[in-house]
Amino acid sequence: MAMNLADLFEHAADAFGDRIAVACGDRQVTYAELEERANRLAHHLAGLGVGPGDHVGLYARNSLEAAETLIASCKLRAAAVNINYRYVENELRYMLADADLAVLVHDDALAPRVAAVAPGTPGLRGTVVIDDGSGAAAAAPAPAAAGRSERTGYAAALAAASPERDFPPRSADDVYLIYTGGTTGYPKGVMWRHEDIWRTLGGGIDFLTGVPLPDEWSQSRRGLEAAGLVKLCAAPLIHGNAQVATLAGLFSGETIVLLPRFGADQVWRAVERHKVNVLVIIGDAMARPLVDAYRAGSYDASSLVAISSSAALFSPAVKDACTEALPSVLITEAIGSTETGFAGLGFVSAGAPSRGGPTVTPGPDTIVLDDADRPVVPGQVGRLARGGHLPLGYYNDPARTAAMFAEVDGRRYAVPGDWARLEEDGSVTLLGRGNTCVNTGGEKVFPEEVEGALKSHPDVFDALVIGVPDERLGQRVAALVQPRPGRAVDLATLGPHVRGLIAGYKVPRSVWLVESIGRTAAGKADYGWARRHAAGHPPASQVPASTGSTAAGPAR
């Protein structure tokens, strides 16, 4: 059995070719059409010299072409590399070099950046330009690289290439590559064997029971037994969340709905139009505007049966708002990371008590380790770890790869740095990433818990918590707060509100009011932006640590 992602998609294309596979904007393709178009792109890429182990950059917003690039790369035993379409020249230059790209598929609007950067990338053999109506490529010079100037329009590339599925056999050992978001620095590529990422994120296990599927045809067989769900992936395909949700859905015969740009009203209009059954989102950054838009509009969401959130904070206040607005919809929250894959699942219920983060039933081989790499006992806090099917490591970074893994009782575990608590009932509460934890006077404060408390205030729309230098405490807890539209945050009430939910030492001592919170295209926190803003602007409220009080009043 191949256990290869391209084979899994081809099984689905053979099983239900007439079904709609992907819809994006006003366009859609059936499984048979998606198969043919991906074959054509793969043959064009092969003509540029792309083969096993090569890397194909994807620098684009959501589109049919973006989905096809993911599949076509797998067909060639190459790996697609997700590049944030917000990246400017310096960031793009880093990605082209770090990922050793052979070919870059990009939106027309991004052609000027590509042309400015490509000459410094000797390994780049060519580019394929997705027509987005901007006409930017026509005005930009061809991106000469390594003495070549291969730039082809996407439509022209497909028209001139073979539609046949005549590729050599593939392997479960082929590498799938996902670059992390880089919220605390430049992103790094996490390498997975195809079989391993399928078993952890691509639907190769039953996420509720942890039981692995028996073979590579299980998903397509299951898809034949039902009409196929309609799933809307709200995040861009440059994010691992959307990639694996899209691929897993395609393996099972689902219809995947993508949006060229995220917008809350656009999501609900797409839910109505396509009769979406499952909505896949990334935490508060998407859930909060979505629930506000749903309440303000008159949208028909009667087709919706489930909402799945992962990859970012889903705060208690926003969860409660979602359950209130959509009482008949099953809402779940999954934990994990690019380095671990799926690590646990929780079901959201109204008014559930908060334990400082999402509390989930741990997935297969998920444990919590202490500082000596031993499993913790119930009630203890440690580092979240996952065994079983694991990534190979970070691309071109052996030091970080070695630091990612730990051996426990002769078994290897991925330990990316997430802190969690093992509860008395065997569940696990995710507390936050260690590299964003604030150490204030020797106390660890996880930003996600404080952000959840801040966002439960009726006048707060979004918040981001960081640590800033403090002469007495080492670090002080600080917050950047975005008010709800048309409202002003009364700092005199904000502090007491937060202090009623979390311990006094966790309450922000410095608060900045901002028009909007800096986030990545996928909605993840941009901590670099937050630190730059805090360093360059005076806070709206600040209380010295020596007073023994927080920005909101006396500490407790």
Least confident of 130-139, 401-410, 414-423: 130-139
Least confident of 42-51, 84-93, 147-156: 147-156
Query: 138 CB contacts (<8 Å, ≥6 apart)?
Result: none
Looking at residue 555, its pLDDT comes to 39
Residue 209 has pLDDT above 50, yes or no: yes
pLDDT tens digits for range 175-195: 999 998 655 567 899 999 999
pLDDT tens digits for range 110-150: 999 999 999 888 899 999 999 999 988 787 777 665 445 58
Q: DSSP character for 211?
A: P
CA distance 107 to 255: 24
Long-range contacts at 446-449 (CB < 8 A, ≥ 24 apart): 446/356, 446/357, 446/419, 447/525, 448/313, 448/315, 448/356, 448/357, 449/354, 449/356, 449/357, 449/502, 449/506
Query: 422 CB contacts (<8 Å, ≥6 apart)?
Result: 368, 376, 377, 378, 379, 380, 382, 428
Query: Average pLDDT in the 77-95 region?
Result: 94
In which element (H, E) is residue 258 found? strand 255-258
Contact 145, 121 (CB under 8 A): yes
- The angle that helices 264-274 and 283-296 make with each other, rounded to 10 degrees, is 70
Query: Average pLDDT in the 87-91 region?
Result: 92
Longest dimension (CA), the chain: 73
* Single pTM value for the model: 0.90
Q: How confident is the model at residue 523 (pLDDT cuts 50, 70, 90)?
A: confident
Q: How confident is the model at residue 546 (pLDDT cuts 50, 70, 90)?
A: very low
CA distance 516 to 384: 31
Residue 52 has pLDDT above 70, yes or no: yes
pLDDT tens digits for range 234-281: 999 999 999 999 999 999 999 999 999 999 999 999 999 999 999 999
Among the listed residues 291, 310, 305, the one whose alpha carbon sits nearest the alpha carbon of residue 235:
310
Q: What percent of the chain has pLDDT over 70?
A: 95
CA distance 458 to 497: 10
Residue 222 has pLDDT above 50, yes or no: yes
In which element (H, E) is residue 65 found? helix 64-75
In which element (H, E) is residue 177 found? strand 175-179
Structure-token pair, residue 6:
């391209």
Residue range(s) in the chain whose domain bears CATH number 3.30.300.30: 437-554
Contact 313, 155 (CB under 8 A): no
Q: How confident is the model at residue 547 (pLDDT cuts 50, 70, 90)?
A: very low
> Within the chain, how many helices (H) and strands (E) appear?
17, 31
Alpha helix locations (H) across 23-63? Answer: 31-47
Query: 128 CB contacts (<8 Å, ≥6 apart)?
Result: 41, 44, 45, 103, 104, 105, 106, 151, 152, 153, 154, 157
Q: Give the residue with greater pLDDT, 140 vs 396.
A: 396
Q: What is the mean pLDDT of the chain?
A: 93
Alpha helix locations (H) across 214-315? Answer: 218-224, 240-251, 264-274, 283-296
Give CATH for domain 5-261: 3.40.50.12780
CA distances from 6 to 2, 82, 165, 167, 471 (A): 9, 17, 11, 11, 55
In which element (H, E) is residue 494 found? helix 491-499
Looking at residue 548, its pLDDT comes to 45
CA distance 532 to 522: 20
Looking at residue 144, its pLDDT comes to 62
Looking at residue 475, its pLDDT comes to 93
Looking at residue 550, its pLDDT comes to 46
- The angle that helices 5-15 and 64-75 make with each other, rounded to 10 degrees, is 120
Residue 12: other Cβ atoms inside 10 A: 27
Residue range(s) in the chain whose domain bears CATH number 3.40.50.12780: 5-261, 290-434
CA distances from 514 to 448, 480, 517 (A): 18, 7, 7
Query: 526 CB contacts (<8 Å, ≥6 apart)?
Result: 183, 464, 518, 519, 520
CA distance 247 to 178: 13
Looking at residue 143, its pLDDT comes to 67
CA distance 475 to 97: 35
Query: Average pLDDT in the 195-216 region?
Result: 93
Structure-token pair, residue 122:
């000797």
CA distance 383 to 339: 13
Q: DSSP character for 547?
A: G
Residue 519 has pLDDT above 60, yes or no: yes
Q: What percent of the chain has pLDDT over 90?
A: 84
Superfamily of domain 290-434: ANL, N-terminal domain (3.40.50.12780)
Residue 413 has pLDDT above 90, yes or no: yes
CA dihedral 456, 459, 460, 461 (to 10 degrees): 110
SS3 of 229, please?
coil
CA distance 240 to 544: 41
User: At CA 306, angle to CA 303 and CA 312, rounded to 5?
Assistant: 135
CA distance 187 to 413: 22
CA distance 357 to 316: 9
Superfamily of domain 437-554: ANL, C-terminal domain (3.30.300.30)
SS3 of 344, please?
strand
CA distance 245 to 212: 17
Q: How confident is the model at residue 532 (pLDDT cuts 50, 70, 90)?
A: very high
CA distance 209 to 430: 20
- N residues, the chain: 556
List phi, psi (to 5°) of 170: -115, 180
Residue 549 has pLDDT above 70, yes or no: no
pLDDT tens digits for range 325-358: 999 999 999 999 999 999 999 999 988 888 889 9
